[in-house]
């Protein structure tokens, strides 16, 4: 069996993060821990040594952007990680008023990330058109769309742009989505937990459940040995 990989997790959103940090290392699960701002990224790096299994990504979550000074902070930190996330666009009602600011910040981040060839984990809600425009402009080589919930047409456009897609257990219970997730090429699939924001068998996600997430996604997409498929895909994105 290949080691399991979780490409989108929020360690700092758990109250017992110290214990979970130990668990992930003990389980030997490669885990990309997102952060929502450069400040949080720096505190996580301060608090935890980077291990073989736990990596922190530099983030600027679209729902947490309040002014453009975040671009400067981002630039200051970018040399400290090979991973960027959580970043993206969120045009749902609550965050729509920040639309232009989000676009400016995200464009700068994609530009920087592409230049430095970082892996980028992207959030998008009701913003696929703009997301596709920005990705088309900069063409990042290592782009993962996290928890995709756009249309079939947008999915195809993102596939054409060479994006990867990280799938989680909750996505698999939405019928409309998994009917077309099947169109994602097998070599572009990754697995995420998005813990603590997903559930597995009705329970809030914890790292010991990652195996179960693989099982659920593998069943729906009818992929045997999903762990090996994901391990190969992850190796490929890292060297692209």
Which residues of this protein are in contact with Zn ion, per CB under 5 A? Answer: 86, 194
Please, what is the minimum distance in Å from the beta carbon of residue 225 to Zn ion?
A: 27
Nearer to Zn ion, 128 or 194 (CB): 194
Nearer to Zn ion, 88 or 218 (CB): 88
Q: How far is CA 8 from CA 84, 122, 172, 187, in A?
A: 11, 10, 16, 18
- CA dist 29 and 209 (Å) reads 11
Please, what is the minimum distance in Å from the beta carbon of residue 197 to Zn ion?
A: 6
Please, what is the minimum distance in Å from the beta carbon of residue 1 to Zn ion?
A: 26
Helix H or strand E segment including 8: strand 5-9
DSSP 187: G
Nearer to Zn ion, 199 or 223 (CB): 199
- CA dist 80 and 90 (Å) reads 26
- Contacts of 14 by beta carbon, 8 Å cutoff, 6+ apart: 20, 195, 196
Please, what is the minimum distance in Å from the beta carbon of residue 8 to Zn ion?
A: 6
Nearer to Zn ion, 98 or 166 (CB): 166
Under a CB-based contact definition with an 8 Å cutoff, are residues 121 and 85 in contact? Answer: yes
Please, what is the minimum distance in Å from the beta carbon of residue 34 to Zn ion?
A: 5
Please, what is the minimum distance in Å from the beta carbon of residue 147 to Zn ion?
A: 7
Nearer to Zn ion, 86 or 227 (CB): 86
Tell the residue number behind the tokens 């892996």, with chain if given. 119
Nearer to Zn ion, 64 or 223 (CB): 64
Q: Give the three-class secondary structure for 89.
A: strand
Tell the residue number behind the tokens 């997301």, with chain if given. 131
Helix H or strand E segment including 203: strand 203-204
């Amino acid at each position: 069996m290949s080691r399991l990989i979780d490409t989108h997790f929020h360690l700092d959103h758990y109250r017992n993060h110290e214990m979970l940090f130990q668990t992930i290392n003990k389980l030997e699960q490669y885990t990309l821990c997102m952060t929502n701002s450069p400040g949080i990224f720096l505190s996580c790096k301060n608090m935890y040594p980077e291990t073989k299994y736990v990596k922190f990504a530099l983030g600027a979550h679209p729902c947490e952007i309040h002014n453009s000074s975040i671009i400067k902070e981002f630039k200051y930190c970018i040399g400290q990680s090979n991973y960027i996330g959580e970043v993206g666009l969120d045009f749902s009602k609550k965050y729509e008023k920040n639309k232009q600011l989000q676009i400016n910040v995200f464009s700068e981040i994609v530009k920087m990330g592409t230049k430095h060839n970082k892996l980028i984990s992207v959030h998008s809600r009701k913003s696929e058109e703009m997301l596709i425009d920005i990705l088309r402009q900069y063409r990042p080589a290592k782009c993962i769309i996290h928890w995709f919930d756009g249309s079939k047409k947008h999915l195809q456009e993102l596939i054409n742009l060479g994006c990867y897609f990280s799938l989680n257990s909750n996505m698999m219970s939405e019928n409309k989505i998994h009917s077309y997730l099947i169109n994602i090429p097998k070599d572009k699939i990754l697995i995420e937990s998005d813990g603590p924001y997903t559930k597995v068998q009705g329970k809030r996600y914890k790292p010991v459940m990652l195996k179960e997430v693989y099982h659920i996604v593998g069943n729906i997409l009818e992929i045997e040995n999903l762990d090996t498929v994901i391990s190969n895909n992850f190796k490929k994105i890292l060297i692209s």
